[in-house]
Structure 1
Amino acid sequence: MPREIEWHGLYMPSLTALFLLVLVAGWGLDRLLAQIGFYRHAWHPVLLRVSLFTCLYSAVALLIYR
C-alpha cells in the first residue's frame, strides 16, 4: 500500500483514508451496539465508544502497515 495518496493534487497519508473508512465502520458498529442495548451495561458509554474506535483504527493500521 502506498504511504501517500494523491487526491485532486493534494497528497495525504494513507492513514487518513483509513481513518475515514474506520469512522464509517465504527459508526455502523456503534449503531448496532446501541440497538441491542450494549451501552446500558457500560459505566461511561462515550468513553467506550472512543475506545472502540481507537481499537478498530489501531487494528486496521497494524494490519496494513506490518
Structure 2
Amino acid sequence: MIKEINIAGVLLPPLMGYAFAAMIIWLVLRFTLARTNLYRFIWHPPLFNTALYVILLSIIVVTTL
C-alpha cells in the first residue's frame, strides 16, 4: 500500500514527492543542456523541457512501484 508523506503533521500524496524528485533532476539536466549549448539542436525548447519533465516523472513513478 502506498503511504502518505508526513511533513510536520501534514499528509502529502506520494506523487508530490516524486514530482519534487523529478524537478530536481530536471533542473540539473536543464542547466547542463544550457551550459553545453545543446539547446541549439532543439526546435522548441519549452516543449522539450515539458516532455523531459514528464518522462523523468514517469520513470521515477514506475521504478518506485
Runs of 4 or more, structure 1, over 3 Å off, are: none
> Partner amino acid for 1:23?
M
Alpha-carbon RMSD: 1.4
5+ residue gaps in structure 2?
A: none
Separation (CA, whole Å) in 2 of partners of 1:3 and 1:48: 32
Residue equivalent to 1:9: 9
Residue equivalent to 2:39: 39
> Partner amino acid for 1:37?
N
> Partner amino acid for 2:3?
R
Shift of 1:3: 2.5
Separation (CA, whole Å) in 2 of partners of 1:3 and 1:34: 37
Separation (CA, whole Å) in 1 of partners of 2:38 and 2:58: 22
> Partner amino acid for 1:51?
A
**Fraction of identical pairs, as percent:** 28
TM-score, with structure 1 as normaliser:
0.88
TM-score, with structure 2 as normaliser:
0.89
Q: Which secondary structure state, in structure 2, belongs to the residue aligned with residue 47 of structure 1?
A: helix
Shift of 1:2: 4.3
Q: Which secondary structure state, in structure 2, belongs to the residue aligned with residue 3 of structure 1?
A: coil
